[in-house]
């Protein structure tokens, strides 16, 4: 078996299959699910010793850690190039713990304004309630980051590619500004996936995923993970999470662990399809805008190319004719399904203004470019030609509907 030091020299796809494997005494090929709440001790003295200091292959209680969860943590840490990882019950448990575990009253945080709704809730509603000051900036404007980051800024938080309008943030430049005042750079990296971007190499200190998305990749389990230095994960995050109960279940960890074996292949296939689909969509009538970081028409295309290998698996489209036309388009699709999730094997389409971003005011949505005609497409594993045909036929139907109305 490849040991941890040998694995470090191997490529991502190999690490995705082998890293973190811990075999039991039975020598099973596929990783085992340890569906247990607790662990037994050979003696009272052994129990006492484990509570004094816990060894690398020792466990106490499922809220603190579990062998299957540890396999998932070690494998994703290897993929991300992080020293350590802590798995959580959901992506939001990860975002919450990454921030709350390190902040206290009087601290200052700078965040990009274009965020997943629940992340915005944590920053706007939760942190401020406990005396943390939060400043919001346009994440694509370095001058705004520079003006907002100040001595006393403890963390900066942003999505490397924003949801749903796919803005690309300059990780290296923002990290330089943050590090100049000693602030921790925390990146919600869902849209870039663990495959396409060396987020820590670009300068970030902490990477957070909703494993619910591309990591599961097949729409089954909720999960999340926080990745960073050994000190941050074990001395800052772990005490907070083990006492507040955000642990990932062993069953979900097993699903996520097995999914990591194919995450590279799936994300690459999905990104290839997304590129082909975005290219085709640019030539179709009925769309006023196609937003895809992999296309030269994207305002941050050069940055996207420098930071990520590909344009990713997500496309945003603006249907000409506003909400009515967008709804007709969604309702006419036969393969692409209407849902609010993303990163699935099944292609999924969302109308953010009326679902994921409904909570925002019309003015806030306008500021973020979330118009009534905007739809977000998560490209799945279906044949891209079938998807292009489906999207094209639905666009036709949406336009004909307008002519007949
Ligand atoms: C989905 C998502 C989350 C939240 O993840 P859950 O697993 O649903 O809790 C956070 N950030 C981004 C960018 C997401 O897409």
CATH code at 89?
A: 3.40.640.10
pLDDT at 386: 98
88 class by beta-carbon count within 10 Å (0-12 exposed, 13-18 middle, 19+ buried): buried
Q: Whose CA is nearest to atom 1 of ligand 1?
A: 210
Band the pLDDT of 38: cuts 50, 70, 90: very high
4-8 long-range contacts, CB within 8 A, separation 24+: 7/78, 8/78
pLDDT tens per residue across span 42-76: 999 999 999 999 988 999 999 999 999 999 999 99
Per-residue pLDDT for 357 more than 60? yes
Q: 6: part of which helix (H) or strand (E)?
A: helix 4-8
Distance 194 CA to ligand 1 centre (A): 14
Q: Given a cut of 70, is residue 404 above it in pLDDT?
A: no
User: Are both 135 and 197 inside the same structural domain?
Assistant: yes
Nearest to 288 by CA among 322, 328, 329: 322
Residue with CA closest to ligand 1 atom 6 = 91
- How far away, in angstroms, is 94 Cα from ligand 1 center? 9
Rounded CA-CA distance 248/222 in Å is 9
CB 319 within 8 A of CB 398: yes
- The conformational region for residue 321 under phi > 0 = left, psi -120 to 50 = alpha, else beta, is left
- Which one, of 101, 210, 112, lies nearest residue 158 by Cα? 112
Atom of ligand 1 nearest to the CA of 213: 1
Domain-terminating residue out of 204, 231, 260 = 260
Same domain for 209 and 309? no
Between CA 109 and CA 285 the distance in angstroms is 43
pLDDT (mean) for 361-386: 94
Considering only CA atoms, which residue is closest to atom 2 of ligand 1? 210
CATH number at residue 297: 3.90.1150.10
Total number of domains in the chain: 2
pLDDT band at 401 (very low <50, low <70, confident <90, very high): confident
Mean pLDDT (the chain) is: 95
| CB neighbourhood size of 369 (10 A) | 17
Does residue 299 share a domain with residue 245? Answer: no
End of a domain among 260, 287, 321?
260
Edge-to-edge strand list for the sheet holding 374-378: 287-291, 314-319, 374-378, 348-350, 337-338
Give residue-wise pLDDT tens across range 236-282.
999 999 999 999 999 999 999 999 999 999 999 999 999 999 999 99
Q: Which tokens hold the place of 367?
A: 């500021």
Q: What is the pLDDT of residues 359-371, one digit of tens each?
A: 889 998 988 899 9
The answer to whether residues 256 and 278 belong to one domain is no
Atom of ligand 1 nearest to the CA of 159: 13
- 222 touches ligand 1 (CB under 6 Å): yes
Residues 256 and 291 in one domain: no
Same domain assignment for residues 323 and 241? no
Whether 213 shows a pLDDT value over 90: the answer reads yes
Instruction: Verify that 62 and 187 share a domain, yes or no.
Output: yes
* Residue 5 predicted with pLDDT over 90: no
State the pTM of this model.
Answer: 0.96
CA contacts within 13 A on the Cβ side of 149: 27
Q: What angle do CA 389, 391, 392 make, to 5 degrees?
A: 65
Residue 273 sits in the same domain as residue 333 = yes
The bridge status of strand 133-137 relative to strand 153-159 is unpaired
pLDDT in tens, 157-204: 999 999 899 999 999 999 999 999 999 999 999 999 999 999 999 999
Per residue in 134-154, pLDDT tens?
Answer: 999 999 999 999 999 999 999
CB 223 within 8 A of CB 216: yes
Stronger pLDDT, 92 or 366, i.e. the higher one? 92
Tell whether 43 and 123 lie within a shared domain: yes
pLDDT of residue 2: 65
Residue 190: CB within 6 Å of ligand 1? yes
Amino acid 344: pLDDT: 97
Q: Indicate whether 95 and 118 sit together in one domain.
A: yes
List of residues 6+ apart from 268 with CB closer than 8 A: 195, 310
Same domain, 249 and 285: no
Inform me whether the pLDDT recorded for 383 exceeds 60.
yes
Tell me phi and psi for residue 319, to 5 degrees. -80, 130
Domain interval for residue 104: 4-260
Ligand 1 atom nearest to CA at 95: 10
* Distance from Cα 343 to the centre of ligand 1, integer Å: 11
Residue nearest to atom 15 of ligand 1 (CA): 190
Domain boundary among 260, 282, 309: 260
Query: Does 210 share its domain with 356?
Result: no
**Which token pair is 124?**
């706007």
What pLDDT does 7 receive? 87
pLDDT of residue 359: 84
Top-confidence residue, 2 or 350: 350
């Amino acid at each position: 078996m490849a040991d941890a030091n040998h694995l470090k020299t191997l490529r991502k796809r190999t690490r995705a299959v082998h890293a973190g494997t811990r075999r039991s005494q039975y020598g099973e090929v596929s990783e085992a699910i340890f569906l247990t709440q607790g662990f037994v001790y050979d003696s009272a003295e052994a129990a006492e010793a484990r509570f004094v200091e816990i060894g690398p292959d020792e466990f106490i209680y499922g809220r603190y850690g579990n062998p299957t969860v540890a396999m998932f943590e070690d494998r994703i840490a290897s993929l991300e190039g992080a020293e350590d990882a802590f798995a959580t019950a959901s992506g939001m448990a990860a975002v919450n713990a990454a921030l709350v575990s390190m902040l206290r009253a009087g601290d200052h945080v700078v965040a990009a304004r274009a965020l997943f709704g629940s992340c915005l809730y944590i920053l706007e509603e939760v942190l401020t309630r406990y005396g943390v000051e939060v400043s919001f900036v346009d994440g694509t404007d370095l001058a705004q980051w520079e003006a907002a980051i100040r001595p006393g800024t403890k963390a900066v938080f942003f999505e490397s590619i924003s949801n749903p309008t796919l803005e690309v943030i300059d990780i290296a430049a923002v990290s330089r500004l943050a590090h100049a005042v000693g602030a921790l750079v925390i990146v919600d990296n869902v849209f870039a996936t663990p495959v396409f971007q060396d987020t820590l190499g670009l300068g970030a200190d902490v990477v957070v995923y909703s494993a619910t998305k591309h990591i599961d990749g097949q729409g089954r389990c909720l999960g999340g993970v926080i990745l960073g230095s050994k000190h941050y994960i074990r001395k800052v995050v772990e005490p907070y999470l083990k006492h507040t109960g955000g642990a990932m279940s062993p069953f979900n960890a097993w699903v996520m662990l097995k999914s990591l074996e194919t995450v590279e292949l799936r994300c690459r296939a999905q990104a290839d399809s997304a590129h082909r689909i975005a290219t085709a969509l640019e030539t179709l009538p009925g769309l006023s805008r196609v937003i895809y970081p992999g296309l030269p028409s994207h305002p941050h295309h050069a940055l996207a190319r420098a930071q990520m290998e590909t344009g990713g698996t997500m496309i945003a489209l603006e249907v000409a004719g506003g909400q009515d036309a967008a709804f007709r388009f969604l309702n006419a699709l036969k393969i692409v399904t209407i849902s609010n999730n993303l990163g699935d094997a099944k292609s999924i389409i969302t109308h953010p203004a009326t679902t994921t971003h409904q909570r925002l005011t019309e003015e806030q949505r306008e500021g973020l470019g979330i118009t009534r005609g905007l739809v977000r497409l998560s490209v799945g594993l279906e044949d891209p030609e079938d998807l292009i045909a489906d999207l094209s036929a639905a666009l036709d139907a949406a336009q004909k509907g307008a002519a007949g109305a």
